[in-house]
C-alpha cells in the first residue's frame, strides 16, 4: 500500500491531503495555538513544524531543536492532529521517533546530498514511518529520484514527494522557480506516489499561494503543504509566505479540486477530444520523420558537394518565416523558438551522421 492510498483515505477533503503548520516551531504557546486554530478550520490532515532549520546563511533562526519536540507531542495529544517534522541526520530521526512524530520529511537542502540522505535512510531501517521527500534545491530530478530510491531501500513503504521549486539566481517572480516540467516528469516516473505541492516555498509570498496551489491541483497533485502561523508577520522564519489558519481556510475554499483519474468512459467528450489529439500527434510524428529523411538526403548532397551543414542565413530565414506565419496561428513565440530549435538540432544531427558515415 502506498502512502498515497493511506493518506487519501484519511484526508479531510476529496481533493487531496493538506499539510500545514508553521515554518518553525518558535514557542510552546505558538505551536499549541497554531495546532488548535488549524483544528478549528477542519481541513488539515497533518501538522508540520520545523524544529531543525537548515538556513542558507548562518545567523538566521536555526530552529529550537529537540527541545521543541515535546511541544509537538503535546499539540498532537491535545488536538489529535498527526505531526510531521523535517529531519536531516540520524540523531534527528531518532529524536523525532522518540516524540511520536507520525511522518518525517526530508528537506530540499538535504535531498541534494546523497551522504545525508543515506544517513537518514540508515536510521530508518526497520522503522517504516511515512517519509516525504522534497525536491533538491537544484533542478536535478535524478538526485530527487536517487533520494527516493535510498529511502525505498530501507523498506519504508509510504514515501511521498513534495515539489517546492528550485533555486535560481535573480528570479523575481518566485522564491523558487517551479519548473513545472521537472515536477511533471518526476510525477510521471512515480505515478503511484503521493505528490504534494509546497506553494509556500515556491512562491515565497502570500499573494501567489492560491495561483500556485490551483496550478498544482490542475496538474493532478495529491495535496498541498502550506505554512501557517498565528501571527505570520512576526514569524521567526519565512514571514512573508506564511498565512493564518483562517486565511488557509479561505484559500482552500477557493481552490477548484479536480479528479485525476476520473472514469473516462463517463466523459465521452473528453475521450473524443483525446482521440483527436492522439491522431494529430501521430501525424506530427510521421511528418517529423519525413522531414528528417529529407535532412538525410540533404546531408548526402552537402557531403558530395563539400557544403557545410549549418548556414546561419538559411536558419535565420526559417525563423523569420515561421514567426511571421505564427502571427495568425496562436502559438507562443517562446514555443515556436523552442520547437524549431529542437527540430533544427535533430536535423543537424541527422546530417552530421550522414556526412561522417
- Which positions lie near ligand PEP, rule CB under 6 A? 23, 50, 107-109, 134, 164, 201
Q: Is 59 left (phi over 0), alpha (psi -120 to 50) or beta?
A: left
**Cβ at position 104, least distance to ligand PEP in Å:** 12
Q: Provide the grid cell at 160.
A: 511521498
> What residues from 8 to 67 belong to the interface with Mn ion (CB under 5 A)?
23
Q: Provide the grid cell at 171.
A: 528570479
Distance (Å, rounded) from C-alpha 178 to C-alpha 198? 10
Judged by CB, which is closer to Mn ion: 64, or 354?
A: 64
Q: Provide the grid cell at 275.
A: 482521440
Judged by CB, which is closer to ligand PEP: 4, or 109?
A: 109
CA triple 311-317-322, angle to 5 deg:
130
Number of residues engaging Mn ion in binding (CB under 5 A): 2
CB 149 within 8 A of CB 122: no
- If one asks whether residue 238 binds Mn ion (CB under 5 A), the answer comes out as yes
CA triple 41-46-47, angle to 5 deg:
80
Distance of CA 278 to the CA centre of its chain: 27
Distance (Å, rounded) from C-alpha 73 to C-alpha 280? 56
Residue 107: contacted member of Mn ion, ligand PEP, none (CB under 5 to 8 Å, by partner type): ligand PEP
Of the ranges 127-135, 172-180, 187-195, 230-238, which one interacts with Mn ion (CB under 5 A)? Answer: 230-238
Judged by CB, which is closer to ligand PEP: 176, or 347?
A: 176
- Residues forming beta bridges with residue 226, ordered by sequence position: 20
Q: Which residue is nearest to Mn ion (CB)?
A: 23
Distance (Å, rounded) from C-alpha 214 to C-alpha 216? 5
**Cβ at position 239, least distance to Mn ion in Å:** 10
Residue 134: contacted member of ligand PEP, Mn ion, none (CB under 5 to 8 Å, by partner type): ligand PEP
Binding mask of the shown chain, residues 91 to 110, with x at each position contacting Mn ion by CB under 5 A: --------------------
- If one asks whether residue 137 binds Mn ion (CB under 5 A), the answer comes out as no
**Cβ at position 347, least distance to ligand PEP in Å:** 41
Q: Which spans of this chain sit near Mn ion (rule: CB under 5 A)?
A: 23, 238
Amino acid at each position: 500500500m502506498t502512502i498515497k492510498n493511506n493518506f487519501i483515505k484519511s484526508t479531510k477533503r476529496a481533493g487531496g491531503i493538506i499539510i500545514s503548520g508553521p515554518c518553525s516551531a518558535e514557542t510552546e504557546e505558538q505551536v499549541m495555538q497554531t495546532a488548535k486554530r488549524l483544528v478549528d478550520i477542519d481541513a488539515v490532515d497533518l501538522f508540520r513544524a520545523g524544529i531543525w532549520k537548515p538556513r542558507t546563511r548562518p545567523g538566521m533562526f536555526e530552529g529550537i531543536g529537540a527541545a521543541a519536540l515535546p511541544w509537538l507531542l503535546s499539540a498532537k495529544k491535545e488536538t489529535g492532529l498527526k505531526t510531521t517534522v523535517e529531519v536531516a541526520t540520524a540523531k534527528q530521526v531518532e529524536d523525532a521517533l522518540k516524540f511520536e512524530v507520525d511522518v518525517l520529511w526530508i528537506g530540499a537542502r538535504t535531498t541534494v546530498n546523497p551522504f545525508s540522505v543515506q544517513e537518514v535512510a540508515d536510521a530508518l531501517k526497520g522503522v517504516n514511518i511515512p517519509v516525504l521527500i522534497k525536491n533538491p534545491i537544484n533542478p536535478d530530478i535524478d538526485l530527487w529520484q536517487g533520494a527516493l530510491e535510498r529511502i525505498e531501500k530501507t523498506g519504508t513503504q509510504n514515501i511521498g514527494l513534495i515539489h517546492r521549486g528550485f533555486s535560481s539566481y535573480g528570479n523575481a517572480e518566485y522564491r523558487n522557480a517551479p519548473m513545472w516540467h521537472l515536477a511533471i516528469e518526476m510525477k510521471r516516473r512515480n505515478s503511484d506516489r503521493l505528490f504534494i505541492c509546497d506553494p509556500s516555498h515556491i512562491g515565497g509570498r502570500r499573494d501567489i499561494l492560491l495561483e500556485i496551489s490551483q496550478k498544482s491541483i490542475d496538474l493532478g497533485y495529491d495535496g498541498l503543504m502550506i505554512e501557517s502561523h498565528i501571527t505570520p508577520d512576526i514569524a521567526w522564519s519565512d514571514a512573508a509566505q506564511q498565512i493564518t489558519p483562517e486565511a488557509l481556510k479561505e484559500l482552500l475554499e477557493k481552490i477548484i479540486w479536480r479528479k485525476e483519474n476520473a472514469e473516462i468512459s463517463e466523459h465521452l467528450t473528453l475521450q473524443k477530444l483525446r482521440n483527436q489529439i492522439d491522431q494529430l500527434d501521430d501525424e506530427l510524428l510521421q511528418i517529423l520523420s519525413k522531414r528528417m529523411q529529407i535532412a538525410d538526403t540533404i546531408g548526402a548532397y552537402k557531403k558530395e558537394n563539400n557544403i557545410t551543414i549549418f548556414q546561419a542565413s538559411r536558419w535565420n530565414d526559417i525563423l523569420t518565416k515561421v514567426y511571421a506565419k505564427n502571427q495568425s496561428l496562436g502559438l507562443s513565440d517562446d514555443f515556436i523558438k523552442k520547437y524549431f530549435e529542437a527540430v533544427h538540432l535533430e536535423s543537424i544531427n541527422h546530417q552530421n551522421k550522414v556526412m561522417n558515415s
